[in-house]
Structure 1
C-alpha cells in the first residue's frame, strides 16, 4: 500500500512537471541603440507590450554599434523588436541610393525589408531625427526664418559653425550650399561638442544639428525646415520580425499605438528631460504614454 501511494505521488508530480514544460513562456526581446532617444522608445514599446498583452519583454538596451549589430541579430532571431530610422534602413542596411521623398522612402524600405528579411516596419511615429540647421529662436523671429530658403536670403550676413567633416562631405555643406545657394560671410570649424556653446555665446549664428537633440530646447534654438528635402529623412518606426508577429498576432495592434503619436517637439522634450534634467528614460516614457492615454 505504501509503495502504491509513493508511485501515485511520483506520477502526479511527473504530470505537473510535464504540464509545466509544455506551457511555453510568451516572450519577446526588445533592443535599442546606445542613445537617449532609443532608450526612451524601447521603454515605450516594452511598457505597452507588458501592459496590454501577457507577453514578457526582455530588454537588450544600448547595443554597441547600433544597427550594424542589431540588424544581424534580428536576422538570426536573437532580437525581435527595435526602433529604427528610414534613412538608416534604406542606405546603411539595404545599401540603396537616397530617395528624397520621405513617403516614397518609407514605402520602399518597408517593402524591401519584408521581402528580403521578413521584417515588418510599423507605421511611422511622426518625428524625423535627421540632420538639421538651427538658429537661435530670437534670430529666427527677428529675421522671419522658417526654412533653409529663408536662411539663404540673409546668409551673407551670418556666420556658420559646424564640425570639420560637415564642410567636406558632399552630403554636408558642399551639397547643401549648392541646393540652397548659401553664402555665409564666415564658416567656422567647431568640435561637435562645442557647437552649442558657440551659438549660445554668439560666436556663430547658425549650426548643424540632429533635429531631435535635447539641447535644442536647452539653448532655445529653432530647427529650420529643409524645404527642398536635401537631407535624407530619418523617420522612426518599430521593426518586428515577421515570425514574431505570426506567433503573437496581438503584438501588431499594440505596436501600432505609437503610429503618429510623437512629434519632433515632443521627442526633443523627452530627450531634454533625460539628457539635461537627468530623468530616467523609463519614467519619461511612462509619463508620455499616460499623457497620450496609451497606458
Structure 2
C-alpha cells in the first residue's frame, strides 16, 4: 500500500474500467466504485459493482487505486463514490487514540469520528483483521502464543509488512506502545501478499503482518498470535461513501451485500481469487447470483 501522499497525486487504476482517478465526477446517476490495491478489497468492490448494476444503476469501476490515505481524499473530492473499507483502520485514520475494540463499539466510534462529508453504511459480519503471524517452528522456539509473548524476544526478530505498517496505530506504533516490543528490523514487503508470505516461510522474516481471511495461514499451519491488548481493533467490512453520492436504492443494494457476507464466506471466496486464480469479477458475480442479489 502506498504511503501517505502529499500534494497532487495521480493514481493508476490497474485492471479497472478507468485508467486513473480524475476526469468524471461521481453522481447519484453514476456510481464510481473503487477498491484499495489488494485482492480481497477488489473482490468486495466487484460485489458492490455487480449488485448496483443489477438494480439498473450506472457503475464505473476504478480498482486497485492505492491505500486509504489516497482513496479517502478521492471520495471527498467526488472522484469516486464508494469503496469497501474496514471499520477499525478507518476509525484509527480519523482518531489515532481510539480505544474501541468490539465490532459495535468501533462502528459507533467511527460514525462519530468521520468528517461530515464522509459516511458509512451498515457494517458486515465479515471481518478481516491484521494479525501478527509466525511459523510453527518460530512459535515453538520462542514459546509464542500471543503478541505479549514477543516482548522479551522482539529485539531478536525481523518483522515484515507493507510500507504503511510502521507509522500506524494498528501497526508498529501500537505494538511498541502497548507491548513494549521493538523488533530487530522492519522489512517493507507487500500488503499481506506473496512477498510477505514467502519471506516468512523462508525465515527471511520471523514475524509477518497477514490478514485473518488469508487461506495461506491454515494451508501452511501458521500461528496467529493473540492480541490481548487490542492493537488490532475489529475490522468489519463497511462501504465508505461521500455524503449525497448514493441514492437510497444504491444504499439498500450495498447494505444487502454487507448483510449477506460473513467471514467464512469471504475467506472461501478469496481463496478462489488468490489460490485458484479466478478473476475477482467472476467470483463476485457467482456469489451474488447464489445469494439472489442479482
TM-score by length of 1: 0.67
Instruction: Please name the residue that 1:18 is paired with.
Output: none
- Are 1:218 and 1:272, in contact at CA under 8 Å, matched by a contact in 2? no
Counterpart for residue 50 of structure 1: 53
Matches of 2:91 and 2:68, distance apart in 1: 12
- Residue 274 of structure 2 is matched in structure 1 by 275
Larger radius of gyration: 1
The 5 Å alignment of 1:126-137 reads 126-136=125-135
CA gap of 1:240–1:204, structure 2 versus 1, over 3 A, is: closer
1:66 and 1:204 mapped to 2: Cα distance?
A: 24
Specify the SS of the correspondent of 2:133: strand
| Cα displacement (A) at 1:218 | 4.5
Q: Which moved more, 1:261-270 or 1:100-109?
A: 261-270
What do residues 39-95 of structure 1 show as CA deviations (whole Å, max 9, x unaligned)? Answer: 1111101111122x22121112222x4333433332233322211222443333x3x
2:198 matched residue in structure 1: 197
Q: 2:56 matched to 1:59? A: no
Counterpart in the other structure of 1:209:
210
Change (3 A) 1:258 1:187: same
Count of equivalent residues: 259
Looking at structure 2, the residues matched to 90 and 294 of structure 1 have their Cα atoms a distance apart, in angstroms, of: 29
C-alpha contact (below 8 Å) 1:26/1:54 kept by paired residues? no
Contact preservation (8 Å) 1:31, 1:62? yes
**Maintained 8 Å contact 2:146/2:228:** yes
Equivalent residue, structure 2, for 1:97: 96
Ranges in structure 2 where 5+ consecutive residues have no aligned partner: 1-26
Distance 1:126 1:106, change over 3 A: same
1:116 and 2:122 aligned:
no
1:175-194 matches, within 5 Å, as 176=175, 179=178, 192=189
Q: 1:177 to 1:257 in 2, by over 3 A?
A: same
- Asked if the contact 1:216–1:268 (Cα under 8 Å) also holds between the matched residues in 2, the reply is no
- Residue 163 in structure 1 maps to residue 160 in structure 2: yes
Alignment partner of 2:56: what SS?
coil
In 1, the alpha carbon distance for the partners of 2:28 and 2:119 equals 23
Instruction: Provide the rounded CA distance (Å) in 2 between the counterparts of 1:261 and 1:206.
Output: 33
3-state SS of paired residue (1:238): strand
Q: Which runs of 5+ in 1 are unaligned?
A: 1-23
Whether the aligned pair in 2 keeps the contact of 1:41 and 1:83 (CA below 8 Å) is: yes
- Per-residue deviation at 1:278? 1.6
Give SS of 2:278's match: coil
Q: CA RMSD in A?
A: 4.1
Match of 1:255 in 2: 254
TM-score of the superposition, structure 2-length normalised?
A: 0.67
- 2:172, 2:30 → 1: CA distance? 46
